[in-house]
Every structure is written in structure tokens, then in C-alpha cells.
Amino acid sequence: MKNAVLVYAEVRYGRVHPVSYELTGKARQLADKLETQVSTVIFYDELNTPPEQFFAYGADEVIIVKDDCFHHFNQEIHTNVLSAIIEKEEPQIVLTGATSSGRTVLPAVAGKVNTGLTADCTGLDIEEGTGLLLQTRPAIGGNIMATIKTPNHRPQMSTVRPKTFEVPEKEERTGIVKTFDLTDEMKATRIETLGFEPLDGANENIQEQEVIVAGGKGLKRKEGFELLERLAKLLNGGVGASRPPIEAKWIDYPHQVGLSGKVVSPRLYFAIGISGAVQHIAGMETSDIIVAINKDGDAPIFQLADYAFCGDLYNIVPMMIEAFEKGIKG
């Protein structure tokens, strides 16, 4: 639909990434201000949930592109198809999740259709009067918030951090289902995806955890993570780390939180033996509740924490585990 707010949904092996619902809901709010429509586009070969469910989250239209070529992720085909849809539909805004896929496909689309793109947005709004999209993103390690707009190029495009917006309440709504046909030219690719190996249980995606227990250099040894795992398990959460433990190979890279790892935003974040380098803070500062444990009372992480425990983590963490266990039992 011309001038629509378009959401490029993400599917991995049949599963819709929740950010696609979050953004369809946000797109609804933006479209209402602009008095326009919301289109959600979805590429897949198989899907665990019907694409029509996007109507319930705010879409007026779902554009389906179903083909075997979407079994594995292929950024080149995604770029070709999304660019073609943008040229055909002429949306005024394009949104997608700031995930590894979104952050790979959307810049390529921006280079191809020659428009602006703002990365990792944490706020979106419509400017009064001009109707332009105002995109807010953290800059310089999150110490500054920059608001960016795209005055003359269309579409205005953003990648948005997962969990920035809530998944909206489902509403009873219907809409139009459209299909988009692929051409051989769009499917032509110089990339072959050979396979995907999901992380095992111990390495599950910490970005989807509600609680993260993260450790840093202050743990001093690999075994410290066993203690953190106990706390994480008790709270049904995952284990994270700052950069030094990853470099020391105490724990695998998928656990790294920060600019060179993952940006997370759980409801509860523990920074244990983490001093709080800018690079790490940028990856976790939007967490709801932040608990810091550090023996250095001047550690920068304390400036950011809701709960600052100053002392030896090897005393405090076992105390916490014991108290929580007792508390849970009632």
C-alpha cells in the first residue's frame, strides 16, 4: 500500500521473532498519527503460526512471500525481495528488528534503494506538522541520545532494538492478505547457506531471557560462573558476561553482553564483578532492575544500579542464593 508503515517481519525456521509483533504494534500507533495503513511483510517457507495473526497486533495488510528459498536465511535474496516490495508498494516508513538479520538486510536495502537508515532505535515518533519519523537512538555508548530524521528520502527506515516496545494486546481485527511473487532474478544469489546449528541449552539466547546474571573480571576464575549459574537457575534466567571472561575463555562468546556482544534488556540484570566499562553498559543499561555486586565502591557500574552491593561477590552471591531459596519456599 502506498505511504504505508511497513514492518519487515523476521522468521527463523518457522518461528516469528517477537520483535515483529512489537513493531507491528508500534507501526499501528505511527500509522494512526499519519492516518495511513500498516503492512507487515513476511518471508518464509513454513510457519508455526498463521500470518493472519499480524492483524490482531495492528496490521491492515499482510504481504506473504512464501518460497522454499526462505528455508535458510539468505541475506542477498531477502535484500532483493524487500527492495522490490519497497519499490512496488512505496511505503513511507520501513521498520525491522535490530537483530543480526535486520541489521544485515536493511543496510543493504538502504544502499540499494538509496535512502537513510537509523540503527538500533529505542524510540520512534511522528513529528508534528511535518509528519516525519523521529528516530531516537543511543550514541557513544548510550551516554547520549540522538534524534534523527530523514527529511527528503523515502522510505524512512529504522532497525529497532527488540523489547523496546511491548507486544500489544491482541485485538479482534481483520485485514487483507496479499501474496508477492518472486522472480528468478530476485532468487539469484552468490550466497549459499550451508546450515544452522542452534545454541545448546547452556548457551541459549540471552536476549530472550527475563533475568540475566552476568559476571566479569572480578570473578577471577572460570569456576565463578558455576556460582552465577546457580543464581540464574534459581531465577529462571540466563548467564551473561562482560568482555574479559570471554577473552579468558571462561565462558563462550554467545554470553557476551555489550557493544561487541549482545544488547540485552531483561527485567532483572545482575552485574557481578563487572566494573562497568562504557562498552558493557551500552549493552545492558535499559534493563528494568539492575543489581551490581562489586568490591570497589567507586566502580562505575554502581552509578547505574538500582541495588549496589559493595563487598566480596563470593560472600554476597551465596547469601543471595540462600535468601532467595528460602524466600521462594515461603
Q: Which of residues 182-241 bind other proteins (CB under 8 A)?
A: 189-199, 204-205, 207, 210-211, 235
CB neighbourhood size of 171 (10 A):
11
Work out whether 323 is an interface residue with other proteins (CB under 8 A). Answer: yes
**Cα-trace Rg, the chain:** 22
Measured from the CB atom, is 79 or 92 closer to other proteins?
79
Q: For residues 287 and 267, is the Cβ–Cβ distance under 8 A?
A: yes
Cα–Cα distance, 28 to 6 (Å, whole number): 10
Contacts of other proteins in 256-295 (CB under 8 A): 259-260, 262, 267-268, 277-279, 282, 288-291
**In the set 88, 153, 170, 233, which binds other proteins (CB under 8 A)?**
153
Residue type, 130: T
87-116 residues near other proteins, rule: CB under 8 A: 99-100, 103-105, 107-112, 114-116
Interface with other proteins, residue 53, by CB under 8 A: no
Helix (H) or strand (E) holding 135: strand 133-139
In 3D space, the residue among 20, 8, 24 whose CA is nearest the CA of residue 75 turns out to be 8
DSSP letter assigned to residue 102: H
| Nearer Cβ to other proteins (67/252) | 252
Q: Which of 254, 257, 265, 284 binds other proteins (CB under 8 A)?
A: 254
Count, residues near other proteins per rule CB under 8 A: 93
- Which residue's CB is nearer to other proteins, number 64 or number 248? 248
- With CB under 8 A as the contact rule, the residue among 46, 52, 88, 140 that binds other proteins is 140
The yes or no reply on residue 14 touching other proteins (CB under 8 A) is no
- Peptide linkage before 155 cis (omega within 30 of 0): yes
C-beta atoms surrounding 321 within 10 Å: 16
Distance CA 65, CA 61 (A): 13
Instruction: Give yes or no for residue 152 binding other proteins (CB under 8 A).
Output: yes
